Structure 1
């Protein structure tokens, strides 16, 4: 099959499996995609593609890590910096050393440097798979942010460790001082290059959009999508971590976006584009893993000389050792940092043995592990085959499947036994911010002395009438958001709880009727187009306005239903 056809097929299957996962909620999406990929490739005449690890790393990993760096809550990321760094760097070092010696002891035929290589290959975690498994299961938000931060950084630290372990195998030389020096250069250099490119792009974008406004939104979004590839390539060319460069570019761009509140079109296009890129690339990654699975298993079983049950035993032992090292490190090295973060108010949930166990089981391996395993060179410098390369790839793939399946079974069970956790802090912050925005909007409507002097009485009367309607709308929203029962007017202060609840339910009904009216408007516009009374351009412009209004109303309806204690409406038709 031609490469273009393969890519199109993989993207199509990624979209279809994403839809199927909505109906088969008991099985995590990554497992569905791996299984479908394996079924397609398993038969003799199935789909078999040549996997280029360097192309894989360039094509899939930078945009996904850039998107993670762009989306991850920066306040939580920096607030939980200590436990994240302990997991992302300290745990990787302990894993490479501890697991490397275990693998060499268990498989004497595998040289120690190759054992270290395998340990480095399986050290990066995959927060995407964890998110797919724990969706709607109650994983505490701050813990999930910590796992995302860990995955964001240990991809780079793991791949750097792989590079040094492979170099030691190829040359037979290893120096801790050189490793420390090179690692520091690659990490700091990668972060510096990425941050510089992120800020540079943001400065250039601001210079352009100050002149042309939102007219160039589509072109700016396209350049933003290309930015992670540029950061990765530049980083790799100058000898630093391209992956950390992509991460840093995403974080820097997000900080710059905080000053771009006026560019609505660009913001909407950016959100939609990145959502599509993430869904497509994440699906493609796990499908590609499934497509490689039969050939990896077949090659190892035919040429390794080991029985299948011995191979499966090694996979189970390595995976168990990996999770055991993770659990011990969390209990001994990270637990204190988590307790300190909880005591300082940076982490809502209190660290517990059960939460530590959930964090351990969340150490699922995924796409980066596969890419790192397949990037191992085939031959040494002297032309001899790389020692136990096929076995290394098989064991790494087995660890991915083992941790995925174990996580899919264990995480739901653990989270069900954890006390119910509600992110009340975030909800209070959101409610306070909405109230502050409403009050600021009301204050901005006050008639000034200059308005009185510049306009006649008719204008002032019309203005006051409009201001009255708008102010009442904002006051309704403030009453809805005010949990304390303290309102902004004397009348509202005499309201009983029953009256407050009735007002909230009435506001919900108003939002529902507004949404109904928008849907009727949209249907009418399409009917007008079908009757050839308006053209396509007019239709698109008017429907776009209604769509943005509906998105805003649906978000307000969710808040209103929560405040009124009413169940959420069906997600059908929601944006």
Structure 2
């Protein structure tokens, strides 16, 4: 413990420093983390990093998926559900199938089951990498919504493939009837467990005398409990966490107060950042052990690298082909929801861009490391080290090649210039104007019968119109503070209703709600 603890602290410090450097260089921090992990792994005095396959999913996936579900816009997911669904399920299955066929044909000793196992591992793109890359360039809201929604659901579909492939490799057979029944139970059971536990947690937050600290502690353990409960029932823990997170996210205003929302946001942001950083460092640090495993198998390093390049090419090609197929299908059956561009040529470039966003990362590594070392009969798991090495090469190549070129492609193509700027500003103005009118009408209807000369009320009205001119808070007595809190709640209700407008970006609504939470916290300390 005394040996590992300094190493873990050094890892966290390195993650923070590398993120700062990545921001300064304007590149995605996962790229630097993977390269740094790869470089330091060759230092002889570092302790060997070994992750227990049985714990890798349980440690990393639940909080990462839960946080992603809280961050994604459910309204945008509903708007683009056809494209998101096709990318999250059909494209993942097509990609896994393509990888299975190609590896079975080109890699000696690779069965179809092992090919599907590898395909399930490397098929889901990584949301963290894509988000870290696109924060330095401007993309359209529709493209961002599709990428976020896809990343939230494709983990579940790919891990379902992974689980069935594991069974097929271990037993040597695959019964379609049992697989179909198991698939339905994994999906229906996972969604059901997630919704039930999410409802239970919401009720617990409402009924228990919690404060910000206890609310924050509960939210940290809730995704782990959802995942564990679903897995105990042999259904999808990933779907349980995703659906539960979406359910609770949509009701965050009803069971978390302003203090809980603000503090939880900060804690979760740091927690997820550290988890992601550790995983990307582990990707690099695991390489020496994987290479040693290849040597014991008698596979030349050059040959294994070639296999990794081959699989990477299949992944990129399959995603680009699928992107164009999804765009064409959308133009035929739902032309009204095709993403806007400045020209028809730009419209046909969007699938190419979506195809180029398929960087792999956290989920692929977690799935690869979760492959058991031995089968149930005690024999070594076939081709485990080769699968791990191919996964590493795929992650490294997609991060370096696609990750470093994606910002340049977006900037040079100019696909998204001028598409969302005016509409976003218009949405903000519409929201702010409607908010002022709503609060003014509320004050007028409720306090028009108040006698003139009420200093507190007059101060509130004046401060509402010209907040910047207020010089002191001596007028903030008990009655006026209650009124201010009531006004904040009225604004939240208005924003919740306004969010139903499909033309209003939900991110703008969330930012304004966060500002209201900060205002309420300021009132508490006056």
Q: TM-score if structure 1 supplies the norm length?
A: 0.76
1:174 aligned onto 2:174: yes
Question: What residue number does 1:443 align with?
Answer: 441
Conservation of the 8 A alpha-carbon contact between 1:198 and 1:252 = yes
Aligned counterpart in structure 2 of residue 377 of structure 1, from 356, 372, 377? 372
CA contact (8 A) 1:87 1:334 kept: no
2:484 matched residue in structure 1:
none
Aligned to 1:418: 414
What are the superposed Cα offsets for residues 342-397 of structure 1, whole Å, 9 maximum, x if unpaired?
6148x455872321111111111111111111222222333332222111111111
Is 1:397 equivalent to 2:392 in the alignment? yes
Q: 1:545 maps to which residue?
A: none
The answer for the alignment partner of 2:359 in structure 1 is 364
The SS at the match of 2:251 is: helix
Cα offset, 1:426, TM superposition = 3.7
2:311 touches 2:394 (CA, 8 Å); kept in 1?
yes
**Cα 1:472–1:133 shift into 2, 3 Å:** closer
**Aligned 8 A contact 2:373 2:384 in 1:** yes
- Aligned residue for 1:321? 314
Give the gaps of 5 or more residues in structure 2.
474-507, 509-526
Counterpart contact for 1:199–1:256, Cα < 8 Å: no
- Bigger shift: 268-277 or 335-344? 335-344
Q: Which runs of 5+ in 1 are unaligned?
A: 475-509, 522-558, 560-575
Supply the distance in 2 between the matched residues of 1:186 and 1:364 (Cα, whole angstroms). Answer: 27
TM-superposed deviation, 1:22? 2.2
Contact 2:359 2:402 (C-alpha < 8 Å) held by counterparts? yes
Whether 2:326 is the aligned partner of 1:333: answer yes
Distance in 2 between residues matched to 1:134 and 1:31, nearest whole Å = 13
How many pairs were matched up? 467
Are positions 1:53 and 2:53 aligned together? yes
**Counterpart secondary structure, 2:211:** helix
State the shift of 1:339 in Å.
7.3
- The alignment partner of 1:385 has SS state of coil
Q: Cα gap change, 1:335/1:198 in structure 2, threshold over 3 Å: closer, same or farther?
A: farther
1:158 is aligned to 158
Contact 2:37 2:281 (8 Å CA) reproduced: yes
- Compared with structure 1, are the counterparts of its residues 193 and 6 closer, same or farther at alpha carbon in structure 2 (3 Å cutoff)? farther
Aligned to 1:266: 260
Answering whether residue 297 of structure 2 is matched by residue 296 of structure 1, we say: no
Deviations 1:509-545 (A, max 9, x none): x69xx9xx99xx9xxxxxxxxxxxxxxxxxxxxxxxx
For the residues of structure 2 that align with 1:126 and 1:471, how far apart are their CA atoms?
44
Larger radius of gyration: 1
Secondary structure of 1:445 counterpart = helix
Q: For 2:123 and 2:71, how far apart are their aligned partners in 1?
A: 23
Pick closer, same or farther for the CA change 1:69–1:339 going to 2, 3 Å: farther
Match of 2:79 in 1: 79
The CA deviation string for residues 480-534 of structure 1, in whole angstroms up to 9 with x for no partner, is xxxxxxxxxxxxxxxxxxxxxxxxxxxxxx69xx9xx99xx9xxxxxxxxxxxxx
Does the aligned pair in 1 maintain the 2:38–2:287 contact within 8 Å?
yes
Q: Distance in 2 between matches of 1:81 and 1:151?
A: 13
**CA spacing shift, 1:145–1:102, aligned 2, 3 Å:** same
Partner of 1:117: 117
- 2:15 alignment partner in structure 1: 14
Larger relative contact order (Cα-Cα within 8 Å, sequence gap ≥ 6): 2
The alpha-carbon deviation at position 28 of structure 1 amounts to 2.1
The 1:438–1:341 alpha-carbon spacing in structure 2 relative to 1, beyond 3 Å, is: farther
Give deviations 1:43-79, integer Å, cap 9, x for gaps: 2222312111332211111101001011100100111
Kept in 2, the 8 Å contact 1:315–1:395? The answer is yes
- Is residue 2:332 matched to residue 1:343? no
Structure 1 residue 224 and structure 2 residue 222: aligned?
no
Offset at 1:398? 0.7
Verify the 8 A CA contact 2:136 2:407 in the aligned structure 1.
no
Partners in 1 of 2:445 and 2:178 — Cα distance? 69
Structure 2 residue 284 is the aligned partner of structure 1 residue 283: no
**Cα separation, 2, equivalents of 1:118 and 1:125:** 14
CA contact (8 A) 2:57 2:370 kept: no
Match of 1:129 in 2: 129
Answering whether residue 481 of structure 2 is matched by residue 469 of structure 1, we say no
- Do the aligned residues in 2 keep the contact of 1:138 with 1:421 (CA within 8 Å)? no
Q: Is contact 2:62-2:223 (8 Å) kept? A: yes
Cross-structure match for 1:573:
none
- 8 A Cα contact 1:86 1:333, kept in partner: yes
Which structure 2 residues correspond to residues 193-208 of structure 1 after superposition, within 5 A? 193-208=193-208
Q: Deviations over 1:532-572 (max 9, x none)?
A: xxxxxxxxxxxxxxxxxxxxxxxxxxx9xxxxxxxxxxxxx
